[in-house]
Chain A
Amino acid sequence: MIKNILANLALALAYVVLPLFLPWWSVAIVALVYGYLATTGLRAFSSASTILALVWGMWVQRYNIPNAGLLAGKIGALFGGISAVELVLITAALGGLIGGLFGYLGYSFRQVMSRN
């Protein structure tokens, strides 16, 4: 249990720190590595996904709340009338998609490697 919490914390930390120095898509590498080390496919997918969604969602809210949704509203309008709140959710969901896909990909890699 504690191991899992620690692993998830490490994952969250890596999601935050790596893209500060590397391109934004380095979160995919983080998810890939996490997935490779994960014990089950479900865990690889769900943790990598949920945690990136949470990290991204909270991170953008750090900008969005002090800005009172001003810019998110305008960018949303640019993409056909999406509201600021919806744009926060879409960003989080995009994080979830990337995290989940690459997490599961990492897991699948190990599966294939260990069979051979």
Chain B
Amino acid sequence: MRFLTLGMLTLLSVGLLWVLDTHNPFGSPVPAMGRLLNPVTGFWANAEAQGLFPNQKLQLSGLNSQVDLVFDERRVPHIFAASAEDAFFAQGYITAYNRLWQMDMSTRKVSGRLAEVVGERALASDLLQRRKGIVKAAEATLKAWENSPEDSKALHAYVAGVNAYISALKPAQYPLEYKLMGFKPEPWSAMRSVLFIKAMAEDLCARNEDLAATNTRTILGEERFRDLFPEYNPKQSPIIPSEVKWNFAPVQPQPRVEMAESILSGLFPDQNIPQPFEGIGSNNWAVGPQKTLNGNAILCNDPHLGLTLPSIWFEIQMQCPDFNAYGVSLPGLPGIAIGFNENVAWGETNVGQDVLDWYAIKWADKEKQSYHFDGGTRQLETREEIIQVKGRKEPVKIQVKYTHWGPLVFGDSTNSPYYSLAMHWLPSEDPGKRDHYELASFIRLMKAKNYADYDAALTGYDAPAQNFVFAARDGDIALKVNGKFPIKRKEQGRFIQDGSLSNNSWQGYIPREQIPQVRNPSRGFVASANQHSTDETYPYYYNGGFDDYRGRFINRSLEAMDSITVKDLMALQNNPHSLQAEEALPLLLKLLPREQLNAQEKSVLKKLEKWDGNYQYQKTEPAIFQAWFDSTYIMSFDEITRWRDSVEVLSVESWRFLDLLDKTPEHAIFDWQKTKKTETAADLVLSAFQKVCRGLSKTPAPTWRSLNNASVNHLARIPAFSRTDLPISGHAQAPNAIRNGHGPSWRMVVELGKDGIKAWGVYPGGSSGNPGSPFYDHMVDQWAKGEYNELFFMRNAQDARKTKQSVWSFSPKGR
């Protein structure tokens, strides 16, 4: 009996310990509670003390000499090093200290290694990433970077710094999310940094509408397609002003070889081709001395990206004999992406040009393993990808199939209509030999003293293409639509192309001196907001997704402004005015047959008539207008939208929609297919308005805040680590382009004075990626209010020490 009791007690005790030490016991979502709660290695050790950061002295191998890191009151590190390499080492160390889990997850995701740590639920995403050939592409990029000392020295110093941090980590110090998810950090590598830039490229230049455009053209027929989907908005105010003339002889693309037979038939069903978030971009501009109150050039940038905690940006100052630069860096990459030094400032917005094309493969055998190409046949090449899946004994192995064009992204089943589609994506191409690449472009900007340095820095930068804005203390302002751009004949890459002809390849790349660029234009400012790069006189064809409202609004505002101050430009960055609403509301009001409205509808109308197009979070008008506008849109294009659930289709651009409402309200597209009657735009506008009013009679109008739900979500979407429902005024089509979890991820204003640089900035997060740190999200509320921090641009470490903030001193180990 005693033995039995003892046995039971042993079983109970040991069993309890096992459950407490097992991640997801019995398949439950519960983490290992004992590991998580115990005071030694549990989450408690991640609870950071409020107040001053403790000083530290560390000996680290891999350093050449002493490095000081001074932390200001926002815990932004200011690095003071005796060489550039030591500065990048320290950047790697302090970035990993703050953001290790984020660095790990973002590169795991892009390279298809999530299932290894989270199990089955990430397998589909991993498979897709592998089939896109991301890792193969990153290998080619890394090989190229290794051949450029400028890039590779910075990269390897950074990697060594990250690893100096990781190698000294004890389980108690693992970032919180590792403890919650039950896995361990692994060493960083140069490959991981390259993967990070591929993740940025996926986010910024992987949008593709070839399938949707091909389907939509099939559904609508050629004529109506042309009518509804013109590629250029005549109202557009392009990035490069029209005063810039193209004084060069462009490379002429080869004419298209006509196909004997169409290789495409039928529609491609909806497969959810992975797409980055659409239609929200970034703003940047620089105003020249003649437009500002005190004669200093001012540069502004607010890149709009997915807003996450930890933030995509890490604020930092780096000083060494080669440079003294301040700005924001990307966790995973050495250098400063957006910032300034003692002489110049720079920033970026995304270029929407389409650099991802799909090719239809014409099979030469029944097994679909060889294909026709220029009269001959070619075999598919394969590359094995091995995916470790947590909880499985054996890894998943797949053969990714490659054609001349690129991978068969849907190559898992030969029966799928998608099987025959090969993807060609610019960032997957071998970068070839150059004197420097993307990393060195940023490092050269950190060193730049003038326009010539900026000009030389950008030649090494391919992808993701960016509109690089520039301003210098000498008063120069400039903007380059910079990157590697394919030469295409008209409409090449707009639709799926025949993959059996090399004639359908890109026709080389636009020579760097012929890319769209402008320096010191007569209007006194340069600006970009993801709109078309140029007007239609630019001799090269390009397609893609471009903004239609923010760019025009910003250009209009800057043109009207004079004696500009820093405050004025901060107000412009935070402006919640939507030009789309400004243009659409009068059109809708004009078309609305008032005599058919009842009393309640009239009162709603009265409210809307007074609305100014500003998306203020506490107001209800923006929500009412948005519902009316969206509903009219959907009814107008029912010919297309009814296909949305079954096949990939394009959406008519909103500027074209407004154009149709304005000029051709009797257009046949406004006829609603469901009814026998022939509707016009006025009928739809009325019907949509009445629908919205019926809704309002049942439930009161929501505020814009509740509808827009401005949020900064934790990377793993853990609600307790996220900030949601933020009171912030803005709209996707307003300069303050906030929409759900997307928006201005960093707002920066730099004044380039004769006697020095002054700068202000804010981002919705904090330097620490640790949810247990007071510096995790401390700037979120400030950001939501549109407030800025004056950036503390320290001249040297001695100067910095006077501020009595904390200092970490790194010295080389074993010397």
Q: A66 CA to B47 CA in the complex, in Å?
A: 8
| Chain A 51-89 residues near chain B, CB threshold 8 A | 55-56, 59-60, 62-64, 66-68, 70-72, 74-75, 77-78
Interface pair A75/B41, CB less than 8 Å apart? no
Q: When chains A and B are docked, how far (Å) is the Cα of A50 from the Cα of B771?
A: 31
Q: Are B13 and A105 interface neighbours, CB within 8 A?
A: yes
| A68 CA / B607 CA spacing, docked (Å) | 47
Which of B34, B44, B180 contacts A25, CB < 8 Å?
A: B34
**Does A28 lie within 8 Å of B50, measured CB to CB?**
no
Which of chain A's residues 9-43 have a Cβ closer than 8 Å to chain B?
Answer: 19-20, 23-25, 27-28
B49 at the interface (CB under 8 A from A): yes
SS of A interface (majority): helix
Q: Decide yes or no: A75 and B2 within 8 Å by CB, A101-B13, A101-B16 being known contacts.
A: no
Q: Say whether chain B's binding surface is mostly helix, strand, loop, or mixed.
A: helix
Between A25, A27, A64, the greatest number of chain B beta carbons within 10 A of the residue's beta carbon is seen for A25
Q: Does A8 contact B (CB under 8 A)?
A: no
Of B6, B13, B37, B719, the contact of A90 (CB 8 Å cutoff): B37
Query: B6-64: which have CB < 8 Å to A?
Result: 6, 9-10, 12-13, 16-17, 20-21, 33-51
The contact string, 1 if C-beta is below 8 Å from chain A, for chain B 701-726, is 00000000000000000111100000
Q: Judging by beta carbons under 8 Å apart, are B16 and A60 in contact?
A: no
Q: Are A64 and B721 in contact (CB under 8 A)?
A: no
B741 at interface, CB cutoff 8 A: no
Q: List chain B residues, Cβ under 8 A from A27.
A: 38
Contacts of A94 in B (CB 8 A): 20, 33-34, 37
- A56–B38 touching, CB < 8 Å: yes
A residues near B2, Cβ cutoff 8 Å = 108, 111-112, 115
Question: Which one of A70, A72, A111, A115 has the greatest number of beta carbons of chain B within 10 Å?
Answer: A70
Instruction: For residue B380, give the distance in angstroms from its CB to the closest CB of chain A.
Output: 47
Size class of the B contact interface (CB-based, 8 Å) = 35 or more
With CB as the reference atom, state the residue of chain A lying closest to B5: A108
Considering only residues 91-113 of chain A, those with a C-beta below 8 Å from chain B are: 91, 94-95, 97-98, 101-102, 104-105, 108-109, 111-112
Q: Give chain B interface residues in 751-793, CB to chain A under 8 Å.
A: 771-772, 774
B774 close to A63 (CB less than 8 A): no
Nearest chain A CB to B622's CB is how many angstroms away? 31
Contacts of A102 in B (CB 8 A): 13
Instruction: Tell me, yes or no, whether B248 is within 8 Å of chain A by CB.
Output: no
Q: Which residues of B contact A72 (CB under 8 A)?
A: 44, 47
Contacts A71-B47, A78-B718; A19 near B40 (Cβ below 8 A): yes
Contacts of B36 in A (CB 8 A): 75
Smallest CB gap from A74: residue in B:
B720
B-side contacts of A98, CB under 8 Å: 16-17, 20, 34
Contact A63 B47 (CB under 8 A): yes
CB of B49 within 8 A of CB of A67, answer yes
Nearest CB of A to B45, in Å: 7
Residues of B near A55 (CB, < 8 A) are 39
What residue of chain B has the Cβ atom nearest to residue A73's Cβ? B720
Q: Whole-angstrom distance between the alpha carbons of A68 and B233 in the complex?
A: 55
Q: How far is the CA of A24 from the CA of B9 in the complex (A)?
A: 21
Q: Is the pair B49, A91 in contact by a Cβ cutoff of 8 Å? A: no
Residue of B nearest to A19 (CB): B40
CA–CA, A44 and B719, complex, Å:
42
CA distance A88 to B315 in the complex (A): 34
Tell me the bound Cα distance from A94 to B772 in angstroms. 22
Given the complex, which residues of A lie within 8 Å of B17, measured CB to CB?
Answer: 25, 28, 98
* Distance A105 CA – B17 CA, assembled complex (angstroms): 13
Pick the residue among A24, A66, A97, A109 that contacts B40 (CB under 8 A): A24
Q: Please, which residues of chain B bring their CB within 8 A of the CB of A108?
A: 2, 5-6, 9
Residues on the B chain within 8 Å of A68, using CB: 50
| B38 and A24 contacting across the interface, CB-CB below 8 Å | yes
Q: Is B20 in contact with A25, judged by CB distance below 8 angstroms? A: yes
Q: How far is the CA of A64 from the CA of B44 in the complex (A)?
A: 7
Contact B38 A70 (CB under 8 A): no
Instruction: Decide: A28 and B13 in contact? CB cutoff 8 A.
Output: yes
Complex CA–CA separation, A112 to B8 (angstroms) = 14
Nearest-CB residue, chain A, relative to B45: A63
Q: Give A9 to B595 CA distance when docked, in angstroms.
A: 89
List A contacts of B41 (CB < 8 A): 19, 24
**Whole-angstrom distance between the alpha carbons of A102 and B34 in the complex?**
15
Provided the pairs A25-B21, A98-B17 are in contact, do residues A77 and B40 lie with their beta carbons within 8 angstroms? no
Q: Taking CB as reference atom, which chain A residue is nearest B21?
A: A25
Alpha-carbon separation in the docked complex, A36 to B9 (Å): 14
The chain B residue with its CB closest to the CB of A59 is B39
- A71, B43: Cβ atoms closer than 8 Å: yes
Question: Least Cβ distance of A26 to chain B in Å?
Answer: 9
When the two chains form their complex, are residues B37 and A74 in contact, meaning their CB atoms are under 8 A apart? Answer: no
Given the known inter-chain contacts A78-B720, A101-B13, A105-B13, please indicate yes or no for A60 contacting B34, CB distance below 8 A: no
Q: Which residues of B sit under 8 angstroms from A63, Cβ to Cβ? A: 39, 44-45, 47
Smallest CB-CB separation from B18: which chain A residue? Answer: A25
Bound together, the chains give a CA A34 to CA B719 distance in angstroms of 42
Give Cα A72–Cα B33 distance, bound, in whole angstroms.
14
Q: Are B39 and A60 in contact (CB under 8 A)?
A: yes
Residues of B within 8 A of A70 (CB): 47, 50, 772, 774
Q: Which of A63, A77, A97, A105 has the most CB of B within 10 A?
A: A63
Chain B residues positioned under 8 Å from A23 (CB to CB): 21
Residues on B with beta carbons closer than 8 Å to the beta carbon of A90: 37
| Closest residue on chain B to residue A21 by CB atoms | B40
Contact B34 A77 (CB under 8 A): no
Rounded to whole angstroms, the CA-CA distance of A60 and B46 in the bound complex is 11
Complexed CA–CA distance, A97 and B38 (Å): 13
Please, which residues of chain A bring their CB within 8 A of the CB of B21?
23-25
* Given the contacts A66-B50, A94-B37, A112 and B13 also touching, CB distance less than 8 Å: no
A98 to B50, alpha carbons, bound, how many Å? 32
B176 CB contacts on chain A under 8 angstroms:
71
Is A64 touching B13 in the complex (CB atoms < 8 A)?
A: no
Measured in the bound complex, the distance between the Cα atoms of B41 and A56 in whole Å is: 12
Q: A25-B21, A28-B13, A71-B771 are in contact. Are A91 and B721 (CB under 8 A)?
A: no
CB-based contact B39/A91 at 8 Å: yes
Would B6 and A66 count as touching, CB distance under 8 A?
no
Give the interface centre of B12, B17, B36, B40 by most chain A CB atoms within 10 Å: B40
Please indicate which of the listed interface residues B10, B44, B46, B180 has the most CB atoms of chain A within 10 Å of its own CB.
B44
Other than the given A67-B49, A109-B6, 10 more pairs (CB < 8 A) read A19-B38, A24-B34, A25-B34, A27-B38, A63-B45, A67-B50, A71-B44, A71-B771, A72-B47, A108-B9
| Nearest 8 interchain pairs by C-beta | A71-B772, A67-B47, A59-B39, A66-B49, A77-B720, A24-B38, A71-B47, A63-B47
Q: Report B's interface with A, CB cutoff 8 A.
A: 2-3, 5-6, 9-10, 12-13, 16-17, 20-21, 33-51, 176, 180, 718-721, 771-772, 774
What are 15 of the A-B contact pairs (CB < 8 Å)? A24-B38, A24-B40, A24-B41, A24-B42, A25-B34, A71-B44, A71-B46, A71-B48, A72-B44, A74-B772, A75-B43, A77-B720, A94-B20, A98-B17, A112-B3
**A: which residues have CB within 8 A of B?**
19-20, 23-25, 27-28, 55-56, 59-60, 62-64, 66-68, 70-72, 74-75, 77-78, 90-91, 94-95, 97-98, 101-102, 104-105, 108-109, 111-112, 115
